[in-house]
Structure 1
Amino acid sequence: MLPAALRRWLRRPKRSDPHLLSQFFFADERVTQVVAEINRLDAELDPQQYLVLLNQLHLSQAHLLAVLEQIMEECIPTQRHSRDYLVKFPEELLVGNLGNHMLFAAECLLAGTFLEVEEADGAQLRPQARKLLSSLELVRTVLREQSLNQPSSYPEPVQAVLVQFDRLFAEFELSYVSSMVVVKSPEEIYRQQEIIVLFCETVGRALRLGYLTQEMIDGYEPLLMFTIPRLAIISGLLIYPEGPLSLERSPDQMSRVFSPFYNLLKKIRDLLQVLSAKELYLLERSLCTAEMDPCDLATPPAWGADVAREEPSAPWGLLKVTHATPALPSGTPGVGDDAGTTWQWSPQPFGSSLGLDATPGARCLELRSRYSSTKDMLHTLFVCISGVADQLQTNFASDLRSILKTVFKIIASQTEPSEEPNASRAHHLPEWVPDSTCSQCSACRSPFTLLRRRHHCRSCGKIFCARCSPHAVALPHYGQLKPVRVCTHCYAAHLLPATRRTRSQ
């Protein structure tokens, strides 16, 4: 009878084997080899080699975790612990090596060499770190054995240890990050989602009015990082006054992104409300080009009175804007501009369409009289609005990047068809579940939100979140010759092995 070591050697998978368990075997073997080399090395005698080996260990562990992540997505896609808490993290933490950093932190905590956390936090984290590392060792042992026996399947014991490790990893990750940085509260997350909606509505309006083009959105033009927040300030103060920039709230009820500018936003709003349609157009155009354009105010915009009425879509469900046109009493003297003409306030169709508040004539005149000319007033507004938007880039760079990234994803992406397939193809396709009948993912049961969108599986017709329907394959038996979205279950259970193997290669 062959010795156990020889039998294990004969059952070793080949490096060309595409199965994930085979890839895990060699990734795990590499980690073990590097650790053995570090243990044999005297760091004091050869510090340079020690640093080289530490770097190799870091890279090999990162590769091991990447393969393990793929295994969990293939083996337990519907049993994975929810990662919705990631939305609470600052964006700069959401990098590819976050998982590797978590394991390194857990090892340091157990060794007592971790100095980044307070002692009280360390005492709470150590039991979690111990459980996490023990679970990882069990996962490595179980997966190694499975890769030597049958690398193409995941029996129930393998699934059980993976589920436990995934849960412990998520719990430690949330606890560790919460002890290191300030994570967003549920209220702040909701307020940030309100800002995302405001920014999306702002971009939609700018596209309709010609301030922006779809090509600029699809091309992720850098200038939009400044343009969108500037235009959003105007939209939030004029068009959606009960939205996230509502000044009827106290500063502590606003998002922390805008609350520091509460008093300045009030002054900006007061000035915006006395602008004519032409002046507002000139201001917004200047904000889009990032420089104040001293246009001739005597020349109205070409599209002036022909612009279609802009009705707010009330994405928050509570927004109701009263459309009132500001006007001065007859005979009120005008304010001279620097072109030598007399400015006279008069009703504007565009002003009505924006829903500007009705400002009393005396108040209107008083605000405008503070400036030597209309151009001076517009320049002041330009500087103030640009200043707030630029401060967002400086003081809340992480939050703003996260908001704009989501906005680009929503605006630039193609909306998936929600209607049922047409009658000519209905007998070829699965039953299409209507959007209105499904409020949560059919696999992980996570509720759909603005950020977690609905996606139909073209194989079974059910609705899933993006995490549970990440695959795209052709379905010739349904007449789909190009790759289309399918859920993880259909991908794993119904596709031909040859098709999956071709895609993995």
Structure 2
Amino acid sequence: MLPAALRRWLRRPKRSDPRLLSQFFFADERVTQVVAEINGLDAELDPQQYLVLLNQLHLSQAHLLAILERIMEECIPTQRHSRDYLVKFPEELLVDNLGNHMLFAAECLLAGTFLEVEEADGAQLRPQARNLLCSLELVRTVLREQSLSQPGSYPEPVRAVLVQFDRLFAEFELSYVSSLVAVKSPEEIYRQQEIIVLFCETVERALRLGYLTQEMIDGYEPLLMFTIPRLAIISGLLIYPEGPLSLEQSPEQMSRVFSPFYNLLKKIRDLLRVLSAEELCLLERSLCTAESEDPCGPATPSAWGAAMPRADPLAPWGLLEVPRATPPPPTSMARLGPPGVADDLGTDRQWGPQPPGSSSGLDATPVARCWELRSRYSSTKDMLHTLFVCISGVADQLQTNFASDLRSILKTVFKIVASQAEPLEEPSGSPAPHRLPEWVPDSTCSQCSACRSPFTLLRRRHHCRSCGKIFCARCSPHTAALPHYGQPKPVRVCTHCYTAHLSPRRARSQ
């Protein structure tokens, strides 16, 4: 009978074995090796080497966790614990190495170090951290044994420990993050989705009226980070008043993104309602500029009476559009719109407020209110400038106070309204583009795929655009065009791909 250690050595999988359990074996072996080196090192005598080993431990643990994630996707895809709670997290926490950070936090909690959490929260999290780390050790033991016996199968005991680890990991992740930051409630998530809808409708309207172009959307123009929220405030207050910016609800019922500006939004809405169509169009166009420009151009007169165009000619650019399903009552000054939408067909009603004594059919009370609001300002330019400053101030404050929420909202909006990439039409007889190579994540590779040199602060990672693997600079010094991957210009490739597939000498021989 052979000794157990010798049997294990004889059963070791090959490094070239592509099966996940075989890859897990060597990743786990690397973690164990780095931990042993750290334990045998005196950090005070050699602090630089200690930092190097800590970096290697971080990379090796991230690589191990990435392989474990792939194993769970292959072994228990339908039994994974729900990760729907991730939508509650701030966007800046949703990074690739979040799982590795969770394990590091669990180790610190178990050692009595609470990191960023309060001591009371740390005491409550410590049992969960202990269960998670014990489950991880059990998973490592079971998967190591399985990789030495049958690396191509997942028996029921393996599935059971993976299901338990996945559940404990998800529970600890939610509890730990909730102790650090304020996670969103289901109501807040729903309100944020309503804001996304409002922003999408705003962009659609702005494209239709010529305020924005599709090229700006597809190019992710930085100016849109300011323009879209500004235009959305007008849309939410005038065009879609029943949406997330409805001021008929209390501030507590609004999204936390806009609720701090509740009173200011009311004043903005009241002023927007007394604008003529041309004034509104001028205001919106000024809000689309990068800087605070003077919103009162030559076309805007300085006197109130001259700033009220009649409805006889069609208003330029379509101006303000109101849904046909909800026409305003005849006595309301709350809506503006082109003839036939906000007003009955065939009427000769004027846009905006009417001067006292006019025979427009409107009640005196709304008209008097409109004139009272306009009389507070010395000119059209003064009122439009006030609106410009207030709307820009609210929208720009969103970038400061709710940067994470606004970034997440705009990211979703761009995904929805951006043009869909159309497949390139290849000339007849030319081959179709090949499928892009699988891009190896940085966190799963701690050493060069060719020379096996460990990556450090000086030895950086470089992806080969031909095979997708990670190499050091010495092993990927070449550049070549990859037209079959849609790369007509020279890009970085590794030495193997260059010599075996891409070198001009080999291309001529083929």
1:239-265, Cα deviation, whole Å (9 max, x unpaired): 111211111111121111111111110
Q: Which residue of 1 aligns with 2:458?
A: none
- CA-based RMSD: 3.0
The residue number in structure 2 matching 1:80 is 80
Give 1:117 deviation, angstroms: 2.1
> Aligned-pair distance for 1:312?
4.3
1:296 counterpart residue number:
298
Q: 1:356 to 1:163 in 2, by over 3 A?
A: farther
CA deviations 1:11-45 (Å, max 9, x no partner) are 22222222222221221111111000011112222
**Which is further off, 223-232 or 142-151?**
142-151
- SS at structure 1 position matched to 2:246: coil
Residues of 2 paired with 1:22 and 1:64: CA distance? 12
Q: Any residues of structure 2 matched to 1:35-184 within 5 Å, and which?
A: 35-184=35-184
Question: Could you say which residue in structure 2 is the equivalent of 1:323?
Answer: 328
Q: Counterpart amino acid of 2:397?
A: Q
CA contact (8 A) 2:320 2:337 kept: no
Of 385, 393, 397 in structure 1, the residue corresponding to residue 399 of structure 2 is: 393
Deviation at 1:213, TM superposition (A): 2.0
Q: Which amino acid aligns with 1:246?
A: S
Q: What residue number does 2:224 align with?
A: 224
Aligned-partner Cα distance in 1 for 2:341–2:373:
18
SS of residue in 1 equivalent to 2:288: helix
Q: TM-score, structure 2 length as denominator?
A: 0.71
Q: Is the 8 Å Cα contact of residues 276 and 352 (structure 2) preserved in structure 1?
A: no
Report how many aligned residue pairs link the two structures: 393
Q: Shift in Å at residue 10 of structure 1?
A: 2.6
Q: Which segment is superposed worse, 132-141 or 203-212?
A: 203-212
Amino acid at match of 1:161: V
Aligned to 2:376: 370
Query: Which residue identity does 2:392 align to in structure 1?
Result: S
Task: Say yes or no: does 1:249 pair with 2:249.
Answer: yes
Give 1:347 deviation, angstroms: 8.1
Match of 2:410 among 393, 401, 404: 404
1:200-219 CA-to-partner distances (Å, cap 9, x unmatched) read 11112112222222222222
- Is the Cα–Cα contact under 8 Å of residues 326 and 347 in structure 1 kept in the other structure? no
1:73-99 per-position Cα deviation (integer Å, ceiling 9, x unaligned):
222222111111111111111111111
Return the letter of the residue paired with 2:280.
L
Distance in 2 (CA, whole Å) between partners of 1:168 and 1:259 is 37
CA distance in 2, matches of 1:185, 1:356: 41
- One-letter amino acid matched to 1:153: S
Match of 2:193 in 1: 193
Q: Does the CA contact (< 8 Å) of 2:315 and 2:338 recur in 1?
A: no
Deviation string for 1:150-184 (max 9, x for gaps)? 32332222222111111100000001111111111
Structure 2 residue aligned with 1:361, among 364, 367, 387?
367
Q: How far off is 1:414 after superposition?
A: 4.5
Query: 1:325–1:352: 8 Å Cα contact kept in structure 2?
Result: no
1:307 maps to which of 303, 310, 318: 318
User: Residue by residue, what CA displacement relative to the aligned partner does 1:258-306 show, whole Å, maximum 9, x if unpaired?
Assistant: 1111111011001100111111111111111234344322699x97367
What is the identity percentage for the equivalent residue pairs of Structure 1 and Structure 2? Answer: 85
Counterpart mapping for 1:480-491 below 5 A: none
- Aligned letter for 1:62? A
Q: Distance in 1 between matches of 2:272 and 2:322?
A: 18
Letter matched to residue 304 of structure 1 = A
Query: Which blocks of at least 5 consecutive residues in structure 1 are unaligned?
Result: 314-319, 329-345, 417-505
Give, in whole Å, the separation in 1 of the partners of 2:239 and 2:53. 59
Matching of residue 349 in structure 1 with residue 354 in structure 2 = no
Whole-angstrom CA distance in 1 between matches of 2:220 and 2:316: 31
Residues in 2 aligned to 1:281 and 1:61: alpha-carbon distance in whole angstroms: 57
Secondary structure at the counterpart of residue 132 of structure 1: helix
What is the aligned partner in structure 2 of residue 266 from structure 1? 266
Q: 1:47 to 1:238 in 2, by over 3 A?
A: same
In 2, the alpha carbon distance for the partners of 1:327 and 1:243 equals 19
Residues 266 and 403 (structure 1), Cα distance of their counterparts in 2 relative to 1, 3 Å cut: same
- With normalisation by structure 1, the TM-score equals 0.72
State whether residues 22 and 151 of structure 2, in contact with CA within 8 Å, keep that contact through their aligned partners in structure 1: yes
Q: Does 1:12 align with 2:17?
A: no
Cα distance, 1:389 vs structure 2: 0.5
Q: Is the 8 A contact 1:238 1:356 kept in 2?
A: no
